[in-house]
Amino acid sequence: MSSNPFDDEEYDRFVFHPGDLIEVTDPEEVASLCEKTGIYPYPEEKQAWISEEGKARYRQGLPVSTFDLADEYDRLKAQGKL
Domain locations along the chain: 9-78
For 42, which DSSP code? P
pLDDT tens string 11-59: 777 778 888 888 899 999 999 999 999 999 999 999 999 999 999 999 9
| 57: Cβ contacts below 8 Å, ≥ 6 apart | 63, 64
pTM, whole model, 2 decimals?
A: 0.65
